[in-house]
């Protein structure tokens, strides 16, 4: 491709709103342009890069026996109503009516669509197992798009779906995806970790997320450097200390102005672990049959030395969404903010107690009277509620597996895999006839990778002060050819010889200064740069620079094609030699 004819152009400065370095460089290098919040166009360079990523994904999906299909972005709402997700998913799903007045949705994911297909294709155990995938557009009306392609509203995703007759088959294909995903990311050159995760709106009981560890990430990853335990903080477990002792008589004491755990501990000269902290949220519960919404106060009780993990709490009460409660919503249940507990609470609320409280005795808790607390409160004797792990893991907490301190880091989710089980097949009547003649629901799995987000993470991983420096496997071109000589025929001849040899070349044939051409080459980030300059040409050579390392050398013009091929092969071998093949433990 000649740069004089290229549709996109580089920018000297990033537009406003470029909040990460990778996003800034994708904009400045002319890979992407923004249309609106979370809505981007892929320009030629960005499109070529994502096509290379897609090719790697296709090769790995095909290798585990998946067949490629394509399902529509626009879905009839009927299939989403069958599973209840038409009602349970909030405003992130865009709903509309066609000209005939039929309810329609823009697909956020395709579990419903693929199950609708499967129930028309699968009738017997002889048809199982099956595995299909697609690379298709998704729409999710995210309220907080950020960091360019990291968090968007319209995106391209590889989503694959497995169909099995039993859980043994599901486990097998789940493990195949687990391994294939590591191959995909390492072939792209992106380091990642797999973590245990919350299944969320997808359903099912087992899921893993693939995380690119980076300070720009919104997820918190809990890891144990000793035994390798890794999980998203939303589901991470840790070893808790409990403090059982003989129950003492409950007593109300004056605690003026002690509205926080810190104030209370300072006043009573106790430790936070000796308190029972009340956290007030409001859960939204949606009837998946008719979409009717109900809000209800949630009172979460946790020991004062810990914090509530909202995802765990939401799962414990099976809420579709939760938010902090307003004061009037708390007081409506007879609870006094700042001095609240479940003791004496009444009305329509849900109580959840962390096991750290349930297994410790004689804790200080609010008396639901301004200026007063109870000492020596005990779960079971003084109040009752459901018990669940709702505590948030933190760095320094103790690993529940090996007993060593945990670490914490930030990460960007770049893929996920789910064991759906019968969540969709039962609700959508996707059954098969078993060998014994009985009808059984198909066992399903769902597996996703965001293509644009993967490119965005590569841009974050591979850049320096000059711009991008993408790996050979995903860079839009292999070679960036710059001609600085007046005789245009020389550059054209080199360009033609490289192109005819099957080498992907971006040729800077523009009438620009050397400084502009070098700066553009740096920011675009093509792995190999060839420069035809007057000095080197006198010696019959072309200058060579490797973008990733800055290493420079020169090749004889007569050997140029072979030398460039060898350099490309060397860079690709570095990728291939570091392909990760991890098995699910």
Give dist(CA 101, CA 156) in Å, integer: 28
User: Percentage of residues in the chain with pLDDT exceeding 70?
Assistant: 99
CA 473 and chain centroid, separation: 22
Give dist(CA 352, CA 451) in Å, integer: 39
Q: What tokens does 345 get?
A: 């609470």
More confident residue, 575 or 257: 575
pLDDT(473) > 70: yes
The predicted structure's pLDDT at residue 367: 96
Buried-exposed string 415-443: b where 16+ CB fall within 10 A, e elsewhere: bbbbbbbbbbbebbebbbeeeeeeeebbb
pLDDT(203) > 80: no
Give dist(CA 137, CA 52) in Å, integer: 17
More confident residue, 556 or 204: 556
pLDDT(202) > 60: no
129 preceded by a cis bond (ω within 30 of 0) = yes
Task: For strands 479-483 and 463-464, give the pairing.
Answer: unpaired
pTM: 0.89
Buried-exposed string 174-205: b where 16+ CB fall within 10 A, e elsewhere: bebbbbbbbbbbbbbbbebbbbbbbbeebbbe
In tens, the pLDDT along 357-393 reads: 999 999 999 999 999 999 999 999 999 999 999 999 9
The predicted structure's pLDDT at residue 199: 61
The predicted structure's pLDDT at residue 15: 80
* Backbone φ and ψ of 225, nearest 5°: -70, -15
Distances (CA, A) of 168 to 171, 175, 419, 454: 5, 11, 11, 31
Q: How many helices (H) and strands (E) does the chain have?
A: 16, 31
More confident residue, 40 or 487: 40
Give dist(CA 53, CA 30) in Å, integer: 18
Give dist(CA 407, CA 403) in Å, integer: 13
The predicted structure's pLDDT at residue 228: 87
Give dist(CA 577, CA 368) in Å, integer: 64
Buried-exposed string 3-35: b where 16+ CB fall within 10 A, e elsewhere: beebebebeeeeeeebebbbbbbbbbbbbbebe
Strand partners, 106: 74
pLDDT(158) > 70: yes
Q: What is the mean pLDDT of residues 111-124?
A: 97
Ranking 94-98, 315-319, 357-361, 450-454 by mean pLDDT, the lowest is 315-319
Q: Which helix (H) or strand (E) holds 263?
A: helix 261-268
CA angle 207, 213, 217 (to 5 degrees): 85
Give dist(CA 543, CA 550) in Å, integer: 12
The predicted structure's pLDDT at residue 18: 86
- What's the per-residue H, E or C state across 64-130? CCCEECCCCCEEEHHHHHHHCHHHHCCCCCCEEECCCCCEEEECCCCHHHHHHHHHHHCCEHHHCCE
The predicted structure's pLDDT at residue 341: 96
Q: What is the mean pLDDT of residues 15-41?
A: 92
Domains belonging to the chain, first-starting first, are: 17-236+408-460 (3.30.930.10), 251-388 (3.90.960.10), 477-576 (3.40.50.800)
In tens, the pLDDT along 287-298 reads: 877 778 899 999
Q: Is 169 helix (H, G, I), strand (E, B) or coil?
A: helix
The predicted structure's pLDDT at residue 204: 59
The predicted structure's pLDDT at residue 287: 80
CA angle 37, 39, 45 (to 5 degrees): 130
User: 438 and 263 in contact (C-beta within 8 Å)?
Assistant: no
Q: HSE of 544 in the Cβ direction (CA atoms, 13 Å)?
A: 21
CA 261 and chain centroid, separation: 34
In tens, the pLDDT along 340-361 reads: 999 999 999 999 999 999 999 9
Strand partners, 164: 443
The predicted structure's pLDDT at residue 211: 95
In tens, the pLDDT along 537-562 reads: 988 999 999 999 999 999 999 999 99
Residue whose token pair is 């999906």: 61
In tens, the pLDDT along 498-540 reads: 999 999 999 999 999 999 999 999 999 999 999 999 888 988 9
Q: What is the mean pLDDT of the chain?
A: 94
pLDDT(31) > 60: yes
User: Percentage of residues in the chain with pLDDT exceeding 90?
Assistant: 88
User: 525 and 476 in contact (C-beta within 8 Å)?
Assistant: no
Give dist(CA 228, CA 207) in Å, integer: 17
């Amino acid at each position: 491709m000649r740069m004089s004819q290229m549709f996109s152009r580089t920018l000297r400065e990033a537009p406003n709103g470029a909040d990460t370095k990778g996003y800034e460089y994708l904009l400045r290098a002319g890979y992407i342009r923004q249309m609106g919040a979370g809505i981007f166009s892929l320009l030629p360079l960005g499109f070529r890069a994502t096509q290379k990523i897609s090719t790697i994904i296709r090769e790995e999906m095909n290798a585990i026996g998946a067949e490629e299909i394509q399902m529509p972005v626009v879905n009839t709402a009927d299939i989403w109503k069958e599973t209840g997700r038409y009602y349970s998913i909030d405003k992130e799903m865009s709903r509309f009516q066609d000209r005939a007045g039929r309810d329609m949705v823009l697909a956020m994911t395709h579990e419903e669509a693929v199950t609708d297909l499967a129930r028309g294709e699968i009738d017997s155990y002889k048809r199982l197992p099956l595995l299909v995938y697609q690379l298709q557009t998704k729409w999710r009306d995210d309220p907080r798009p950020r960091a360019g392609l990291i968090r968007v509203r319209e995106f391209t995703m590889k989503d694959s779906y497995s169909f099995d007759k039993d859980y043994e088959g599901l486990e097998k294909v789940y493990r195949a995806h687990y391994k294939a995903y590591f191959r995909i990311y390492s072939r792209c050159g992106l380091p990642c970790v797999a973590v245990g995760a919350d299944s969320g709106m997808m359903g099912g009981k087992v899921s893993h997320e693939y995380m690119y560890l980076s300070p720009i990430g919104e997820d918190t990853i809990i890891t144990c450097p000793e035994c390798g335990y890794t999980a998203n903080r939303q589901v991470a477990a840790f070893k808790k200390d409990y403090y059982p002792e003989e129950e003492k008589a409950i007593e109300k004491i004056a605690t003026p102005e002690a509205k926080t755990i810190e104030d209370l501990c300072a006043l009573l000269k106790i430790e936070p672990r000796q308190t029972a902290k009340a956290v007030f949220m409001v859960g939204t519960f949606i009837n998946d049959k008719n979409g009717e919404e109900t809000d209800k106060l949630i009172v979460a009780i946790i020991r004062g030395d810990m914090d509530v993990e909202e995802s765990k709490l939401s799962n414990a009460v099976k809420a579709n969404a939760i938010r902090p409660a307003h004061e009037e919503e708390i007081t409506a249940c007879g609870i006094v903010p700042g001095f609240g507990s479940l003791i004496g609470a009444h009305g329509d609320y849900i109580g959840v107690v962390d096991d750290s409280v349930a297994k410790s005795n004689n804790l200080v808790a609010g008396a639901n009277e301004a200026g007063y607390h109870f000492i020596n409160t005990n779960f079971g004797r003084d109040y009752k509620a459901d018990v669940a792990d709702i505590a948030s893991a933190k760095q320094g907490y103790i690993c529940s597996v090996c007993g060593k301190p945990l670490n914490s880091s930030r990460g960007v989710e770049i893929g996920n895999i789910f064991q759906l089980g019968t969540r969709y097949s039962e609700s959508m009547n996707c059954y098969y006839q078993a060998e014994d003649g009985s009808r059984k629901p198909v066992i399903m799995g769902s597996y996703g990778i965001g293509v644009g987000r993967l490119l965005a993470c590569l841009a974050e991983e591979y850049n320096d002060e000059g711009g991008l420096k993408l790996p050979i496997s995903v860079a839009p071109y292999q070679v960036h050819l710059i001609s600085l000589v007046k005789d245009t025929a020389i550059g054209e001849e080199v360009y033609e010889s490289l192109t005819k040899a099957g080498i992907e070349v971006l040729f800077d044939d523009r009438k620009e200064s050397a400084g502009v051409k070098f700066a553009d080459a740096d920011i675009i980030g093509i792995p190999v740069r060839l420069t035809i300059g007057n000095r080197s040409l006198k010696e019959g050579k072309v200058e060579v620079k490797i973008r990733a390392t800055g290493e420079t050398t020169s090749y004889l013009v007569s050997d140029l094609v072979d030398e460039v091929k060898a350099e490309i092969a060397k860079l690709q071998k570095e990728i291939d030699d570091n392909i990760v093949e991890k098995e699910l433990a």
